Amino acid sequence: MARTVTRPVPAPDPLARDMAELGLLVRNRRAQSELGIVDAADQLGVSKSALSRLENGKPVNLDMLFRVLEGLGLSMLVVTKNEALKAMRVLRPSQEA
């Protein structure tokens, strides 16, 4: 039975505070790309199970994480919490971070 592609969230919160939130951002980006998990895993050069673990907020190898982020056109920016709050105010002026 064919599986459907997850529907993307138009403007997800880009601040990932833990693996679960990071996994949701990865899944959302994959959905925006209209890729099923098997096709995405093949294109990214990772196993379906590893991509699934990442999308479900489970621990993964950092090399694999960066390969997935790069392949999906995502970047990770490491800043202080205070800097993250300031950036979120700029990105979402009408919402509190």
Give the CATH number of the domain where residue 45 resides: 1.10.260.40
Q: Within a domain: residue 4?
A: no
Q: Within a domain: residue 65?
A: yes
pLDDT above 70 (res 2):
no
Q: Using an 8 Å Cβ cutoff, are 3 and 80 in contact?
A: no
Q: What is the mean pLDDT of residues 57-79?
A: 96
Total length of the chain = 97
Total tally of structural domains belonging to the chain: 1
> For position 3, what pLDDT does the model report?
60
What is the pTM (predicted TM-score) of this model?
Answer: 0.84
What distance in Å separates the CA atoms of residue 41 and residue 30, rounded to the nearest whole number?
10
What distance in Å separates the CA atoms of residue 81 and residue 87, rounded to the nearest whole number?
10
Q: Within a domain: residue 2?
A: no
Q: Within a domain: residue 29?
A: yes
Q: Which domain holds residue 40?
A: 19-91
Q: Using an 8 Å Cβ cutoff, are 30 and 42 in contact?
A: no
pLDDT above 60 (res 97):
no
Q: Within a domain: residue 68?
A: yes
Q: Within a domain: residue 13?
A: no
Q: Within a domain: residue 33?
A: yes
